[in-house]
Amino acid sequence: MTFTPHGKHLIAGEWVSAPETFHSAPAHGPAHEFSAGTPELVNAACEAAEEAFWSFGYSTREERAAFLNTIADEIEARAEAITEIGSQESGLPEGRLNGERGRTTGQLRLFADHILKGDYLDRRHDKALPDRQPLPRSDLRMMQRPIGPIAVFGASNFPLAFSTAGGDTAAALAAGCPVVVKGHDAHPGTGEIITEAIHAAVEKCNMPKGVFSLVQGGDRSVGQTLVQHPLIKAVGFTGSLGGGRALFDLCAQRPEPIPFFGELGSINPMFMLPDAVANRGEELGKGWAASLAMGAGQFCTNPGIVVVIEGAESDAFVAAAQAALSEQGPQVMLTDGIAEAYTTGAAKIGAQSGVQDLVTSMCDRREAKPFLFKVSASDWLGNHALSEEVFGPLGIVVVAKDADEMDKIARSLVGQLTATLHMDEGDTALARRLLPVLERKAGRVLANGFPTGVEVCDSMVHGGPYPASTNFGATSVGTLSIRRFLRPVCYQDIPEAVLPADLA
Ligand code: NAP
């Protein structure tokens, strides 16, 4: 079943257009025309979301769970068409899109189960102590409540799992918050068909029409109006450090500042400890190359930096990675802009003092091949440019003289989504030294694995200190991500008959 987009926005249950248009720029297949978003459409969507909050924010958990499961059903009913247009627009292979669709529907169903359990409400009750001396205590109850309309910015690199019905949308709807999505120009048709699925679920479940709106891309004023709209109470964002920081600053400058949950850049360092490198350096080198090149390196958890201690064993690790990356063929990147940023970023790294090229590539228009560079720890430590994310399959090996220098690198890191230790038994002492440093730097610390592949589950943390995210108390993946769209309310001496149903 081929899907041909009509190119409209969904505002409060109606498909609408504005006069300006733009064309999609698919990696392959036909380009389509889309109506471009405007501040007026954003305003209409936000007003409808606020109106919807008065019923959706007070819906039962059972009603919202059924809604989330119905969205998942409606996405599955459009499976083939979603994969087809998603693959055309993003250039991602069909297998990847099928997997990502499963992750998206799994995420929606996980949130349905999660809210039914009710633990996320974090209900507390301090009973009244009328006879307490010197003062009596009131009856105090606490519960988490939804905060209001949420703005979601779809990510270019996950057209399904981090976009229109992705993790931010699922978490917000589960919490009881209506959502306004600013679609990503890299996949407007995919955004439209997913919006169709959500729209069908809204109608089937009799949800208020403003519970979900999609405003397709336009110029920057669309996103800026959205985050500054007085009815928006928080923002979920996945994308670049520059874009995220600009929108974060706008949120902070509002008359009523609101939280901006941005998941931004990360170089996801891996520390190869000496015993592990001596015992299985070649295997680790090949493993790193595979993780680095997977999906053309367009993952926020892509391990862009590896730290080794100098010596013959680490040379064997580097040689294995070099050989594997040299054999990697070209892969299509998500957009022309991302491909261009990759080429420019690689050239900038290659031009830094002390940087040695191990694998250099020619990149055609939207196709990327890997780059591999090597640099000493002292050169790396003295040059901030070498610790900036280059989105794509680009790796840097940082060679430390000894464990002290490795520790110094760990301490110098800015916030990361992940940090990884590769270690064998003989590395335990060094790992114990590094772990307290790394847990201050990263949202997730791994041993003997690769950070690409983020499990959607209760324990997952996909976030970290700035600049990995703008809010280190939060995660954008896993059930804990619902907390971003809730706030605690204390109910003091409120009679049972008046309390919210979840507390009574
Ligand atoms: P992006 O440029 O940050 O854009 C993400 C979304 O934010 C888009 O809808 C964009 O709208 C909007 N936006 C960005 N800056 C804005 C501003 N100043 N005002 C209003 N809206 C703004 O990210 P991207 O397009 O996905 O990819 C570009 C780069 O982001 C990549 O090369 C990569 O470095 C990085 N990236 C990182 C991750 C990660 O997970 N860490 C994921 C994806 C991308 P417009 O389209 O109108 O700009």
Residue 361's pLDDT is what? 83
- Kindly give, in sequence order, each residue whose CB lies less than 8 Å from that of residue 117, ignoring residues fewer than 6 positions away: none
pLDDT tens track for 179-219? 999 999 999 999 999 999 999 999 999 999 999 999 998 89
Ordered strands of the 442-447 beta sheet: 356-359, 371-376, 394-400, 305-309, 270-272, 416-422, 442-447
Q: Are residues 156 and 88 in the same domain?
A: yes
Residue 462 lies in a domain: no
Residue 4 lies in a domain: no
Q: Are residues 250 and 287 in the same domain?
A: no
CA of 246, closest atom in ligand 1: 18
Q: Of all residues in the chain, what percent carry a pLDDT higher than 70?
A: 100
Residue 28 lies in a domain: no
Q: Are residues 142 and 201 in the same domain?
A: yes
pLDDT tens track for 71-122? 999 999 999 999 999 999 999 999 999 999 999 999 999 999 999 999 999 9
Residue 504's pLDDT is what? 83
Looking at residue 106, its amino acid is: G
Q: Are residues 256 and 274 in the same domain?
A: no
Q: Are residues 484 and 374 in the same domain?
A: no
Distance CA 117, CA 479 (A): 12
pLDDT tens track for 132-152? 999 999 999 999 999 999 999
Distance CA 384, CA 291 (A): 24
Question: Atom 28, ligand 1: which residue's CA is nearest?
Answer: 240
Per-residue pLDDT averaged across 322-337, rounded? 94
pLDDT tens track for 443-474? 999 999 999 989 999 999 999 999 999 998 99
pLDDT tens track for 236-268? 999 999 999 999 999 999 999 999 999 998 999
Distance CA 490, CA 52 (A): 24
Residue 341 lies in a domain: yes
Confidence of residue 2 (pLDDT cuts 50, 70, 90): confident
Compute, in angstroms, the gap from residue 391 CA to the centroid of ligand 1.
12
Distance CA 361, CA 364 (A): 10
Q: Is the CB–ligand 1 distance for residue 224 below 6 Å?
A: yes
Q: Which residues are catalytic?
A: 263, 300
Q: Are residues 427 and 336 in the same domain?
A: yes
Q: Are residues 220 and 286 in the same domain?
A: no
Task: Supply the mean pLDDT for the chain.
Answer: 96
Compute, in angstroms, the gap from residue 240 CA to the centroid of ligand 1.
5
Compute, in angstroms, the gap from residue 56 CA to the centroid of ligand 1.
30
Compute, in angstroms, the gap from residue 130 CA to the centroid of ligand 1.
56
Handedness of CA 167, 170, 174, 180 (dihedral sign): positive
Residue 363's pLDDT is what? 74
Q: Is the CB–ligand 1 distance for residue 106 below 6 Å?
A: no
pTM: 0.96
- Give the C-alpha distances (Å, rounded to integers) separating 367 from 35, 294, 335, 391, 399: 28, 14, 10, 13, 30
Handedness of CA 375, 396, 309, 438 (dihedral sign): positive
CATH of the domain at 321: 3.40.309.10
Residue 472's pLDDT is what? 85
Residue 27 lies in a domain: no
Residue 502 lies in a domain: no
Confidence of residue 365 (pLDDT cuts 50, 70, 90): confident
* pLDDT at position 379 over 80: yes
Question: Atom 32, ligand 1: which residue's CA is nearest?
Answer: 338
Distance CA 222, CA 262 (A): 17
CA of 341, closest atom in ligand 1: 32
Structural domain span for residue 425:
270-447
Among 89, 240, 264, 469, the mutation site with the greatest number of ligand 1 atoms within 8 A of its Cβ is 240
Q: Are residues 247 and 283 in the same domain?
A: no
Confidence of residue 340 (pLDDT cuts 50, 70, 90): very high
Residue 364's pLDDT is what? 77
Work out how many domains the chain is built from and give that number: 2
Question: Atom 48, ligand 1: which residue's CA is nearest?
Answer: 220
Q: Are residues 290 and 213 in the same domain?
A: no
Residue 147 lies in a domain: yes
In terms of Cα–Cα distance, which of 128, 121, 171, 129 is closest to 150? 171
CATH of the domain at 244: 3.40.605.10
pLDDT tens track for 412-434? 999 999 999 999 999 999 999 99
Question: Atom 45, ligand 1: which residue's CA is nearest?
Answer: 220
Compute, in angstroms, the gap from residue 406 CA to the centroid of ligand 1.
32
Looking at residue 118, its amino acid is: G
Q: Are residues 430 and 473 in the same domain?
A: no
In terms of Cα–Cα distance, which of 295, 182, 317, 304 is closest to 236? 182
Peptide bond before residue 134 is cis, with ω within 30 degrees of 0: yes
The secondary element (H helix, E strand) that includes residue 313 is helix 312-327
Confidence of residue 362 (pLDDT cuts 50, 70, 90): confident
